[in-house]
Chain A
Amino acid sequence: MATLNITELDFDKIKTNIKTFLNTTSEFKDYDFEGSNLSTMIDILAYNTYYNGYYLNMVSNEMFLDSAILRESILSRAKELNYLPGSANAARATVNLAITAAGGAASITIPKGTVFTSTVGDQTYTFATIKAFTALPNGGTYIATNVQLFEGELLSYTFEAHNENTPIRYVIPNDNVDINNISVTVQTSASDNTTAPYVKADTVFNLDSTSQIYFIQPFAGNQYEIVFGDGNFGKKLVTGNIVSVGYCATDGDRPNGASDFTYVSGIAGASAVTATTVSAAAGGSFEESLESIRFNATRHYSTQYRAVTANDFKTIIEQKFPTFVSVRAYGGEDIDPPQYGTVKIAIRPEIGEVLTDVRKQEVLAYLKDRSVLSIQPEIIDPNYIYLNLNYVINYDPDKTTKSGQDLAALVTQEILDFGATNLGQFNASLRASKLAAQIDNLDRSIIGSGGGFTLRKRLFPSLNTDQSFLIQLNNAILATDANHERHAGHVASVFSSAVTFQGESSFIKDDGNGILYIYSTNADGSERILDPNVGTVDYLSGTISINRLNISQYQGPYLTISARPATFDVVPKNNQILLIQSSDVVTTAIPEQNVANV
């Protein structure tokens, strides 16, 4: 965040400046301002100057988006840029409901506002449906599938439109409102119950004087204000209209992870309701942070609702879909081989590893009206690369009461935290030195640390059929044994988890010369090559090609192909995301006295 100093704020300099100035006047040119009385007066004047200057600087800083501190100021600047700061988002969960009800109705309606509860930690949260679902009979119960529950309390607020003299402002009186789930209806008057639904508009495009729309803009604090049309763009309210706003007040990200839902109320005639979780609550968040507003408002301004540059694509998607964990867009010209005329958009969703097809289509539909006509946006899945870390710390047992196991667990958690904070996003690189520094500073007893890591790709091959895989790590692979013959103990740069090949438990690894082969291990530890060539490794580009692999089994839930990077920094490219998972971290703590023996 930038700061602006428009007046001097160094007290001593202020004092010096005052004295210097007075010395230039004919009245005080011969005065000694170091005298106690005058010095005291100068101090007073300097303090006064300082206080005023400080205030002035603060005021001036509030005038710019990048230097403002007060939320109101930032929102005001964001408003100038036509940027709508993100509100709180309600966590969403999906459940299947089994409803027991008497009466043999053909179906049972699960109305909007049906309430459930769930607990995260020791806190209970309320979830509700924000639209109606239908349960159909199945055996002795009624079943409704994929019912979406939103965390928060469903509230409503009513305004009476007043346009003359002192028009009212339609401010939603809640700091935690989720503006993505607002419903607005306008009743003609108190005596006329005719109501009309109004929909949210993001731009003035395609609006006319009869469009029943509303805009949302930030108000003071975390509150939002509804703005109706001015009779030119959008229908203008008339005095006496009754505006009813339904909204959801949420608890932000706290309910994320809620997975056990208990029915509370809302379904008429239900004697019992059982909720089976399809997906746990996710996507809940608090209002957009000030830093995020600063970051996004200018980008939003530069896009002008157009998706032209790669940054534009990223910005408008993040604006429209704020719950996505990470978005990256890049032109087809940056792909090898190039795919001109396309823009690849990689999205890491808030839930799961890949975006569902439905959500992809939703994103593409949103882009359709904003992107260049002949350029085809394409949503692609993230390419997850897992970091497998084997870390060793040396510690001084005299400086800690923690055991080596405790320290190892501490370091493991630190590594996981590091991954959660610094990785997991597109473009988020692993800087090994920073990780090492964090670990070294983790506990005063840690006197040194080191370790190695590999880049690991998870594959899910079909069994008993020829398959080929192309793994592009986009980071150089360490060529460890370039002039080496294949032999037992050969340190491979690329290696796999165990597979069953030709009926034998075996492995894949490289020979140091860019060839992958499959081998099994004899009783004496020597290698027996089963297939001398199942692929190639391009160490420089980090490309691993596995050709016509035919295995009958692999160990674990997936086949892993690991590669030792050539450098300690790993920079993901395009749709790659680096992840550290707890199962991939092994930490060993070695007390100092044992170091010499290691």
Chain B
Amino acid sequence: MPKTYYRDFRDGESHRYTSDLIHNQVPEFMTVEGPVLVKMIEEYYNFLHTGGNVESAGKNLIKLNDVDEVGEYYEQYKRDTGGQYTSANTVWLDSGQTFLNSIFDLWRDQYLLNFPSNTSSFVLFIKKVLDVYRAKGSNQGFEALLRGIYGLDAEVRNPYEYTFKPSEGAWRFDQYLQAIYNPEIEKWAGLRIYGISSDASAIVQRVNKKLVNGKLIAQIVLTDISEKQFEQNEPIYTLEYPDVSIRIIAGIQNITLTANGSEFAPGDIIDIEGNGIEGRAVVVSSETFNGRLSFTLSNPGEGYRANSIVTVSGGVGGSGGAFRIGGIKAPFRIIQYSQDQIGSLAANSQIQIGEANSFVIVANSQLTSTQVYANQPIAGPNVANGLNISWSNGSNTAVLDADVANNTFTNGSIWYIGNTTPGPSGDHTGGAGMVVHDYDPGTQTITFTTQTMAAASTNTAIIRAYAANTAYQLNSNLVSASVSSTLASALNYDTDTFGAIDFIVTTETGRDYVVAPTATIVEPTVYSLRIPNGAGGYLGNDAVVDVGLLANNVITNLKVLDHGFGYTNAESVVLRSLVAKGTDATGLITLGGVARTEGGWVETQSFPSSNQRIHDSKRYQAFSYEIVTEESLSTYKKTLTSITHPAGTRMFGIYQTQETSSEGVGDTAFDVSSYVDVTAGSGGIEIANNTSTVLGLSTTFTDDIQPGDILTTNGLRFVANTIGSNISLTANGFVGSGISNSGVYTVDALTVLTGNVSISNGSHVITGNGTIFTNELKLNDVIVTSSNVRIGTVNAVPSNTQVRLANTYTGDSLIDATNIRLFKLRTLQPYELSGELSVNDGNFNLSGQFTRFENELQTGDQLFLGSNNIFVGMINKVSSNTSANLVQTFTSPDGTNLTDSVMLRRDKVSKIIIQS
């Protein structure tokens, strides 16, 4: 009999069938007299409980309300019958399917209004449809429906996100502290930190790691920062982990300009180059001087007063530059002697008040010394104690034993001959002194008007100017009116105060100078006294003013945009414009407070860009959405409209197909042997069926073959793996029928690279020593070690000594390894990308190194890192082979930026059709 669909609901229970009860239910005489009738009744009830007939169906009626039971029942029966339409089960399967559809239709009419009859996840939706109804209008709702009904992966986007919105400009930046990284800090996320000395506090949002000049720095990103400021080098802690305390590196509080540079314009972004990284500032203001001058007091001099004479002279092309003395510091007064009281001093003799060999120091018009000396000679090698002289008794001439300045002696000046004892007691001239008649610097000869007298024991002595080195005691303030000493009455106190120049004031910068003039400041009163300043100059003429020719567009004010990482307090930094045009500025850093990043716009929708569209009252407006899936809109529009489409909005469908594959990305699972090409050839070895053992006949494998060599025979090529003996080896990459005594085989040894190579575990950069990579390697070459361990696939060959791989090397680190071999040219898979990628967390922009974006990427492609399947983003626009941007910002899984990352793959968009 044909089977029917009424057969057994999935009945695991041991129900007793009615047929089993018949013999007990009929009168005994019937079992005796009518056994056939009884049997017939029993068989009738057997009929009823088989094939899903009344009894069977009745017993399982309750299960009709269980969607799982019904569905599984049908599936079970299909399995029982092999799921194939045969003459034995066709009726059942057909009618069973009809029955199942009937049940499902009833459920659909009851729970799944407007769902199509071929809903993929029908049974699940019956149970979970409330989830869908409650999520109607949401992205989840759409995605669940498309998956559940059509089995489609879908993405629902809101085009309004990419619509130009003029009012949404809002700037946000991270504020943070830095510290030497400590894993314990990671626990601080979400906690409030406190500064031990400042009492400042803030909440830690997250902790990022940053490698700065070889040091791992923790970036502690903060919010809810207190008014009190964290201090540089201050320990901070949390209440939750009181045992963990770190010292912070504060942000850049200030940069004091030490050189203003040139050709900066307001708004220019400046890299702060120093011990840290990523610091940035912006020029707030700059100034253009048009050949103006700057006057800088580099030596304040001595012996000046406010009205000393300032002279600006020389220079080319301009005029008008001027300055004046702004103030005098360390003032003193000039004391002039009275010749009547002290006698006639020789020319250039000086009155010195104070310690010997130093000039008067007057503070607040008070003498700081109690001794006053008549001045010493002003020149000569032994000026401290007088001038050594030799003469002949009774002669009018004497000879100095050392060179003395020509102007030391003037005719008529009086000198005394004596010994080294200061004062009149050392006078050997009998108090009259010797009057100079003439002095010849060429012969060092002095001619006096009178004859010299004999010395006490020698014809050598020293001569001193009148009163030189004579000390007089002063016990009172020289400037006070009560000074009554003899010397005091002999001195004339100048009423002016002289001193060092405290500062100068530019009164006119002038303009149009091409070559800067020079500037001098002379105080004639003091300078006329020729008072040495101890540095080869004279007071009143020893101040130095540098005249600078001011550059154009010098920085006058700047603001730190991004505090960067790793800068140190009081560090001198170079301030360099990102677009260098003039000279760099320099400055000194002061750390303090919380650092902050350059920041970015919270929304970029108020900025014209390749991501933003103009409101078009259709797709790019507030009430639209688009469904991206691999199916035409017409397939699902009606269903979604009736189930989940929010009235008042417009639905767009984006039909998009894409190729998805990550297999073998970056060549991580690359099996050397599997990539051997099979090419024609001849050979002479023997291989049994389905074995990797190669037997040689009269061969010398150990001499002729190295592991990794390619053996070719009878149209097959394979790689020698291990060499067992002269007549036995194992081969990778050989699968197939054996070769019986091929007679001839060839060996192709792999090409050995010149030189030594080094690479660390986890790196993708090979460095060479004595290598000629550019000659020997090409893109996608695979290189292996001497023992056939794969190193990687060549991604780029920047130089003869550097190779960058498409994968990270994961073997033991190689140091100057030799016998590195080129295995073969490997073809880049369509989903693999060349080069290395860099992109910052939260940024749109991709920058590539050795990349070929223009050839390998297009708008809509989805970019991944194949190594761990990190989703980088969807390509919005490719600008060049090394530059592209994303539709949305890159969100790093761990908050770190991608830097020169390899193993890139894409899910390629092959077709996009926008439907509405």
Contacts and interface: CB of A to CB of B under 8 A. Distances in A.
Interface in B172-231: none
Contacts of B99: 5-6
B113 A302 contact: yes
A338 B647 contact: no
B106 A67 contact: yes
A330 B650 CA distance: 12
A583 interface: no
Contacts of B57: 6-7, 53, 56, 60
Interface residues of A, number: 60
B106 A27 contact: no
Contacts of A8: 4, 6, 53
Contacts of B48: 49, 52
Interface in B50-73: 50-54, 57-58, 61, 64-65
Contact of B102 (A5, A25, A312, A343): A5
Contacts of B153: none
A434 to B, nearest CB: 25
B622 interface: yes
B641 to A, nearest CB: 7
B102 A309 contact: no
A17 interface: yes
Contact of B648 (A2, A41, A63, A342): A342
A308 interface: yes
Interface of A: 2, 4-8, 17-18, 20-25, 27-28, 41, 45, 49, 52-53, 56, 59-60, 63-67, 77, 81, 294, 297-299, 301-304, 306, 308-313, 329-333, 338, 340-343, 372, 374-376
B650 A338 contact: yes
B43 A21 contact: yes
B291 to A, nearest CB: 63
Interface string B626-641: 0000000000000001
Interface residues of B, number: 54
B109 A309 contact: no
Nearest to A345: B647
Given A5-B102, A27-B39, 15 more contacts: A6-B64, A7-B53, A17-B47, A28-B39, A56-B54, A60-B57, A60-B64, A64-B107, A77-B110, A301-B113, A302-B113, A304-B133, A304-B134, A331-B649, A341-B622
Interface in B93-115: 99, 102-103, 105-107, 109-111, 113-114
A21 B50 contact: yes
Contact of A372 (B50, B114, B646): B646
B110 A333 contact: no
B113 A22 contact: no
B647 A63 contact: no
Given A20-B1, A298-B113, A7 B134 contact: no
B40 A2 contact: no
Interface of B: 1, 4, 6, 36, 39-40, 43-44, 46-48, 50-54, 57-58, 61, 64-65, 99, 102-103, 105-107, 109-111, 113-114, 130, 133-134, 136-137, 617-618, 621-624, 641-651
Contacts of B618: 338
B65 to A, nearest CB: 6
Contacts of B58: 52, 56
Contact of B650 (A5, A22, A333, A374): A333
Nearest to A53: B54
Nearest to B35: A27
Contacts of A63: 61, 64-65
A311 B642 contact: yes
Given A303-B133, A308-B647, A65 B110 contact: yes
Contacts of B103: 4
A510 B647 CA distance: 37
A25 B36 CA distance: 12
A67 B107 CA distance: 10
B46 to A, nearest CB: 8
Given A309-B643, A343-B648, A28 B40 contact: yes
Nearest to B37: A41
Contact of A49 (B54, B64, B106, B624): B54
B105 A333 contact: no
Given A22-B47, A53-B54, A340-B648, A6 B110 contact: no
A66 B109 contact: yes
A110 to B, nearest CB: 43
Nearest to B54: A52
Nearest to B916: A333
A306 B136 contact: yes
Given A66-B109, A306-B136, A309-B641, A41 B43 contact: no
Q: Which one of B103, B110, B623, B644 has the highest number of Cβ atoms from chain A below 10 Å of its Cβ?
A: B110
Contacts of A312: 136, 647
Contacts of A28: 39-40, 43
Contacts of B107: 64
A60 B647 contact: no
A81 B622 CA distance: 35
Nearest to A66: B109
Contact of B133 (A17, A56, A302, A372): A302
Nearest to B58: A56
A65 B109 CA distance: 8
A244 B52 CA distance: 53
Contacts of B50: 21
Contact of A330 (B109, B110, B647): B647
Contacts of A375: 623, 646-649
A305 to B, nearest CB: 10
B146 to A, nearest CB: 16
Contacts of B650: 333, 338, 340
Contacts of A309: 136-137, 641-647
A64 B43 CA distance: 33
15 contacts: A8-B53, A25-B43, A28-B40, A53-B57, A56-B58, A66-B105, A77-B110, A302-B113, A308-B646, A308-B647, A309-B645, A309-B647, A333-B650, A341-B648, A372-B137
